[in-house]
């Protein structure tokens, strides 16, 4: 059986031919792929989606937990950074000139008054100029030794002993001065000094000290 195209052949133009062919073609063409093919394709499509979902679930776990773990992770990172800076970088950055004085003590001295003693400067083999203490305030070797001794003593003992020694020396100086005035016969000045001494050291037997000189 023939399938005529219902248009006039004489006046047929391309578009009309096309329409006619299309119409005829659609009437005749109804073939479809088999169900078996469809199942194979759907199975592949389903598998692809399934695999993707598994991947998405894995990614989803990371996405869910990432905000929760972010803060602790940042905290841990910051702590580590601080430790690294403290342990490694700071010692490299600080040179000998910039090093801080670790111990500074105020030592009372009868001769030099109050004196600052840098313990690092005492122990360090470096020259005194390398230490950020003015030369005038740098203790001599003897004083340093004293200071070290004092440093090793308890604080209460240090101050008490130091003040006792200072007071003793002062007394000796005053007694010596009075004796000299007595020997010289300057009794007016001597009496004045005795009064001052008795005022400061009321228990000191000053008259017994000068009596042999007055005879």
Partner 1 sequence: MTLESISLHSLLPNRAVLAKGRVTSIQDQTDEDLMKAYRDGSMAAFEHLYGRHKGGVYRYFLRSTKEQADAEELFQDVWIKVVNAREDYTCSAKFTTYLYRIAHNRLIDFYRHKGSAQYALRDDSSEGDFEQFSDEESLESILQIEQQAMQVKEAISLLPALQRDALLLQLEGLLSLEDIATICDTTRETIKSRLRYALAKLKQQFEGELL
State the number of binding residues for partner 1 (CB under 8 A): 39
For residue 195, what are the contacts with CB-CB under 8 A and spacing of at least 6? none
Cβ at position 23, least distance to partner 1 in Å: 9
Q: What is the DSSP string of 93-142?
A: H--STTPPP--EEEEEETTTEEEEEEHHHHH--S-GGGSSS-GGGSPPHH
Secondary structure letter of residue 12 according to DSSP:
-
52 forms part of the interface with partner 1 (CB under 8 A): yes
Q: Which is nearer to partner 1, 37 or 81 (CB)?
A: 37
For residue 182, which of 173, 191, 195, 169 has the smallest C-alpha distance?
A: 191
* Shortest distance in whole angstroms from residue 53 CB to partner 1: 6
DSSP class of residue 89 equals I
Work out how close the CB of 79 gets to partner 1 at its nearest, in angstroms, rounded to a whole number. 41
Which residue lies nearer to partner 1 by CB, 41 or 148? 41
Phi and psi torsions of 81, nearest 5°: -65, -45
Of the pair 21, 83, the CB lying nearest partner 1 is at: 21
**Phi, psi for residue 105 in degrees, rounded to 5:** -120, 150
Cβ proximity of 206 and 198 under 8 Å? yes
Least distance (Å) between residue 59 CB and partner 1:
13
Per-residue string for binding with partner 1, 11-50, x by CB under 8 A?
Answer: -x-xx-xxx-xx-xx--xxxxxxx--xx-xxx-xxx-xx-
For the bound state, the minimum distance from the C-beta of residue 13 to partner 1, rounded and expressed in Å, comes to: 8
Binders in 55-94 for partner 1, by CB under 8 A: 56
CB of 20 to partner 1, least distance (A): 9
Nearest to 17 by CA among 153, 25, 174: 25
Residue number with CB closer to partner 1 (32 or 111): 32
**Residue 214 to residue 144: CA distance in whole angstroms:** 44
- Residue ranges that bind partner 1, judged by CB under 8 A: 1-9, 12, 14-15, 17-19, 21-22, 24-25, 28-34, 37-38, 40-42, 44-46, 48-49, 52-53, 56
């Amino acid at each position: 059986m023939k399938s005529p195209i219902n248009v006039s052949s004489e006046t047929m133009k391309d578009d009309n031919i096309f329409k006619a062919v299309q119409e005829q073609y659609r009437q005749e063409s109804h073939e479809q792929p088999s169900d078996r093919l469809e199942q194979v394709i759907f199975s592949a499509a389903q598998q692809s989606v399934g695999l993707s979902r598994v991947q998405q679930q894995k990614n989803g776990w990371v996405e869910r937990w990432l905000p929760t773990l972010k803060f602790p992770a940042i905290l841990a990172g910051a702590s580590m950074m601080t430790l690294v800076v403290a342990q490694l970088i700071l010692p490299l950055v600080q040179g000998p000139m910039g090093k801080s004085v670790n111990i500074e003590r105020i030592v009372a001295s009868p001769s030099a008054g109050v004196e600052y003693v840098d313990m690092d400067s005492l122990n360090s083999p470096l020259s005194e100029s390398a230490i950020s203490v003015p030369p005038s305030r740098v203790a001599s070797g003897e004083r340093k030794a004293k200071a070290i001794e004092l440093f090793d003593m308890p604080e209460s003992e240090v101050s008490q002993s130091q003040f006792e020694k200072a007071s003793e020396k002062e007394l000796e100086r005053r007694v010596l001065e009075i004796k000299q005035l007595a020997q010289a016969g300057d009794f007016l000045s001597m009496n004045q000094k005795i009064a001052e001494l008795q005022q400061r050291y009321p228990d000191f037997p000053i008259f017994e000290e000068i009596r042999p000189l007055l005879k």
